[in-house]
Structure 1
Amino acid sequence: MNSRPLRLATAALLATFALLLGACHHQPEKPAPRVALWAIEEQGHAKGWIMGTIHALPPDTTWRRPAIDSAMTGADRLVMEIGEPIDPNVAGQALARLAMTPGLPPPSARLDNAARSALGNVYRKLGVDDSRFLNEESWAVALQISALASQKAGAAADNGVEPQLRKAMAGKPIVGLETVDSQFAIFDALPTKAQNVLLTDVVREAAADRDDDADMLDLWLRGDDLGMAREANSGFLSDPVLHEALLAARNRAWTERIDALLKDGAHPFIAVGAAHVAGHNGLPEMLKAKGWTIRRVY
């Protein structure tokens, strides 16, 4: 398994913790971007647009294209996972409220032998140990290890798609589908076994020293929704409990919100983590099931 789907399925949370896609090194020249965009239509008229996002990018990454710019201009609001700019202090307070359970065993004692060995390697690379995560639940440990690994690689949270969208659509209302607290609460509600699956997956990727993120970035830039759909069903998201909690259930709830916005006359530009727009239980397909016409915009 690998934890790339974490970056795609938990967009705002991972941006909060600087769980960023892509190493910050020089990128060779690439073809013009074809980031996937869908129009939501009714009787041949566009009512809104959907785009999957990557939450941090290498410097000078070009992802916008004329169809995306046109959709942003035509939209009357921006819809994202979390509406307000994320304040790290607020996020830290929310984490402290939900992540602590007195008497928990240290993270290394929650894993099997192979994952425990990998965790030791990760700890040495990051300069931390079990004491850093005293009494923290496994989901919070997983998020923070990923954040520390990304920071060590030199990633920067202010270079993602979401800050660029806020700037490009300045002056238009921003609607949040969730809050920082509600996103943390989703993780906090995970059964212990599922939390440890998540932690194991994050640890194994952090220990592997692979540049899988570059492959993910390439899929996104090429608009390879089939490839993204495969990723949305791989790694820890292949675990039924995690897939339902972190992806499918949230998509169903978001679909209800978006459907109501559209029926109220809104023309939203919807930008959420790329896993949320991929495959049969992605937002485009769920909105199609609600009766909307969904058209891929090339």
Structure 2
Amino acid sequence: MASYEAFLSQQMAQQIKPVTGLESARDQLRVLDAIPYQEQARLLLEAVQDYQKLKDGYWNMVVSYKNQDLQSLYYVVREVSMGMKDYEKLLLTDRNRRWMPAIETMARQQASFFAVGAAHLPGENGLINLLRRRGYKVEPVVE
């Protein structure tokens, strides 16, 4: 199964639509660099040692996403994803807030489609709530 990212990238290329990132690869690496290397190593080792838990968590997240069950998705992200609970602010909340000005600017300029990792959607500080608080109408796109 191809990733959603690969599928969406292929669709945009076929439709000759521009694709812009909300952050650069360098920005993403800076976020990861904020997690101490010893902690990164511990989380990686934990993921390798309990790969089945990680795999099950991923598929639970996919099912929750497809079912548009944001509460379940939020639970899976926080409670099942290894290390996410400890770094939710760094990995999700702070980034969501940094993305908001770019999202608003792009949305004002033209009709836009934003694709982000599923973990960025739910929760009080998720993109859906942040956008709704600013008056945007946010609806799921379903096949």
TM-score (norm 2): 0.79
The range that moved more, 280-289 or 162-171, is 162-171
What count of residue pairs does the alignment treat as equivalent?
Answer: 137
Matched with 1:161 is 4
Residue 238 of structure 1 deviates from its aligned partner by: 1.4
Counterpart residue type for residue 267 of structure 1? A
Q: Distance in 2 between matches of 1:243 and 1:296?
A: 23
Identical aligned pairs, as a percentage? Answer: 31
Q: Which runs of 5+ in 2 are unaligned?
A: none
Counterpart residue type for residue 127 of structure 2? L
Task: Summarize the Cα distance change of 1:258–1:211 in structure 2 as closer, same or farther, 3 Å threshold.
Answer: closer
TM-score (norm 1): 0.41
Matched with 1:278 is 122
Of 53, 64, 83, which residue of structure 2 is paired with 1:236? 83
Counterpart residue type for residue 266 of structure 1? Q
Counterpart residue type for residue 168 of structure 1? Q
Task: Summarize the Cα distance change of 1:183–1:211 in structure 2 as closer, same or farther, 3 Å threshold.
Answer: closer
Do the aligned residues in 2 keep the contact of 1:251 with 1:281 (CA within 8 Å)? yes
Q: Distance in 2 between matches of 1:210 and 1:192?
A: 20
Give CA deviations for 1:6-53 in whole Å, capped at 9, x if unaligned: xxxxxxxxxxxxxxxxxxxxxxxxxxxxxxxxxxxxxxxxxxxxxxxx
Q: Which runs of 5+ in 1 are unaligned?
A: 1-57, 59-158
Measured on the aligned residues, the alpha-carbon RMSD in Å equals 2.4
Alignment of 1:1-298 (within 5 A): 58=1, 159-170=2-13, 171-192=16-37, 194-195=39-40, 198-206=43-51, 208=52, 211-212=55-56, 213-234=58-79, 235-239=82-86, 242-263=87-108, 265-296=109-140
Task: Summarize the Cα distance change of 1:185–1:237 in structure 2 as closer, same or farther, 3 Å threshold.
Answer: same
Residue 210 of structure 1 deviates from its aligned partner by: 7.2
Q: Distance in 1 between matches of 2:5 and 2:37?
A: 31
Q: Distance in 2 between matches of 1:211 and 1:183?
A: 23
Q: Distance in 2 between matches of 1:222 and 1:267?
A: 25
Do the aligned residues in 2 keep the contact of 1:259 with 1:290 (CA within 8 Å)? no
Residue 177 of structure 1 deviates from its aligned partner by: 1.0
Higher share of residues assigned strand: 1
Residue 253 of structure 1 deviates from its aligned partner by: 0.7
Do the aligned residues in 1 keep the contact of 2:78 with 2:84 (CA within 8 Å)? yes
SS at match of 1:232: helix
Do the aligned residues in 1 keep the contact of 2:93 with 2:125 (CA within 8 Å)? yes
Q: Distance in 2 between matches of 1:209 and 1:229?
A: 17
Question: More relative contact order in 1 or in 2 (CA 8 Å, sep 6+)?
Answer: 1
Q: Distance in 1 between matches of 2:55 and 2:29?
A: 27
Do the aligned residues in 1 keep the contact of 2:65 with 2:73 (CA within 8 Å)? yes
Determine which structure has more spread, i.e. the larger CA radius of gyration: 1
Higher share of residues assigned helix: 2
Counterpart residue type for residue 33 of structure 2? D
